[in-house]
Amino acid sequence: MTTKITKAVIPAAGLGTRFLPATKAMPKEMLPVVDKPAIQYVVEEAVAAGLTDVLMITGRNKNALENHFDRMTELEDLLEKKGDQDRLAKVRFATGLADVHYVRQGDPLGLGHAVLRAKMHIGHEPFAVLLGDDIIDDRDVLLSKMLTEQGKRNATIIALMEVEPEAIHLYGCAAVETTDDPDVVKVTGLVEKPSAADAPSNLAIIGRYVLRPEIFEVLQNTKPGKGNEIQLTDALQVMAVNPQFTGGVYGVIFRGRRYDTGDRLDYIKAIVQLAVDRPDLGPDLRVWLQEFAATLD
C-alpha cells in the first residue's frame, strides 16, 4: 500500500543577493513574474498535482510571503464595494490555494539543512520539495509524473533535464542507467555542481524532488559539502547507493518548458516567454518585440 502524497516543502530562506537592491527588504520569491509573485506559480503547481499542504522554509525578511498567502480584508472590502470582481478574485485566489505553514530555517546552512527543518511537519511519509527559482510551465507535465513514479517504485524521485555541458557546473548532476520507460532513469550516483570535465552526464537536477522520509536520517548525518553547505544532492547520493534501505533514487527526465527565475538574465527571459503566451498581453507584446528586435544591431 502506498500513501497518497499531500505535503510539499518549499525552501524560501535564500537571501536573494543576485537581485540586490530589489531584495534588500523583500524576499526574492515575491519578485513578480509578469503579474504574479514567482512563489505563487510554484504553489499553484503543487496544488495542481494534488499537494494541498505546503510548508515554506523561510528566514528573516519573509513577512511579505506570509501576507501574500493570507487574507487582506481592507483591500478585499474595497474591491467588493467597487464591484471589481476580477481583481477581487485575483487577490483571494492565493489565500484559498493551499494550507500554507511556515518554519524558519535559522542558520543558512544549505538546501539540505532547509529540507531537514521540515522533519517535524512531514513525519514518516513521502513528500515533495519544490525549489522556488524554477518555474515549470503548467502546460507541461512533471510533478504528477514524479508522484506516480514514487507510488509505483516506492523510491525517491528527482527531476532531471538535459543541459549543455558548459552549464552543468550550475546544477547537481546524475549518473544514470536506463529503465523500460524512456522518461525514467535509475540514478546510480549524484554529484553537486561538478566541472564539465568531472560531470558523469549532462543530466542536471532541476528543482523538483519527491523524497522518502528516510532522507531526514541521511541529512542528519550529512556533512557540509560544496560551498561548505549541507547539500541535498549529497544526501540523495547516499539514498542512491543504499537502495536496500531507501528504495533507491530514480529520475524523471523533463523535456518541457522550464523558466529559471534565480538568475537576472533568465528572470527577464522568463517574464518575456510567459507574457508572449498570455492572451491579455501576448498579442501586443509580440508586435512590439519584433519591432524592438529589428532596432537592435
131 contacts ligand G1P (rule: CB under 6 A): yes
Please say which residue, 94 or 207, places its beta carbon nearer to ligand G1P.
Answer: 207
Please state the closest distance from residue 206 (CB atom) to ligand G1P, in A: 5
Alpha carbon distance, N-terminus to C-terminus of the chain: 61
DSSP 70-133: S--HHHHHHHHHHT-HHHHHHHHHHHHS-EEEEEE--S---HHHHHHTTHHHH-SS-EEEE-TT
**For residues 257-296, which are near ligand G1P according to CB under 6 A?**
262
Q: How far apart are CA 80 and CA 86, in angstroms?
A: 10
DSSP 164-196: -GGGGGGSEEEEEEE-SSTTEEEEEEEEES--T
45 contacts ligand G1P (rule: CB under 6 A): no
- Residues 70-109: x where in contact with ligand G1P by CB under 6 A, - otherwise, as a string: ----------------------------------------
DSSP 235-258: HHHHHHH-HHHH--EEEEEP-S-E
Q: Which of 125, 117, 179, 131 is nearest to 159 (CA)?
A: 131
Residue from 27, 37, 126, 207 that binds ligand G1P (CB under 6 A)? 207
Please state the closest distance from residue 246 (CB atom) to ligand G1P, in A: 18
172 contacts ligand G1P (rule: CB under 6 A): yes
Return the CA Rg of the chain.
20
Please state the closest distance from residue 95 (CB atom) to ligand G1P, in A: 28
> Contact region for ligand G1P (CB under 6 A) — 46-54, 63-71, 81-89, 131-139?
131-139
Q: How far apart are CA 2 and CA 152, in angstroms?
A: 8
> Contact region for ligand G1P (CB under 6 A) — 113-121, 136-144, 199-207, 248-256?
199-207
Q: How far apart are CA 66 and CA 12, in angstroms?
A: 11
> Contact region for ligand G1P (CB under 6 A) — 30-38, 148-156, 213-221, 230-238?
230-238
Q: How many residues contact ligand G1P, by CB under 6 A?
A: 15
Please say which residue, 17 or 295, places its beta carbon nearer to ligand G1P.
Answer: 17
Q: Residue 195's Cα: distance from chain center in Å?
A: 23
DSSP annotation of 60: T
192 contacts ligand G1P (rule: CB under 6 A): yes
171 contacts ligand G1P (rule: CB under 6 A): yes
Q: How far apart are CA 187 and CA 185, in angstroms?
A: 6
> Contact region for ligand G1P (CB under 6 A) — 54-62, 138-146, 203-211, 272-280?
203-211
Residue from 39, 176, 191, 204 that binds ligand G1P (CB under 6 A)? 204
- For residue 208, give the amino acid letter: R
143 contacts ligand G1P (rule: CB under 6 A): no
Dig out the grid coordinates for 56 from the structure: 515554506
Where do contacts with ligand G1P occur on this chain (CB under 6 A)? Answer: 111, 131, 133-134, 171-172, 192, 204-207, 231-233, 262
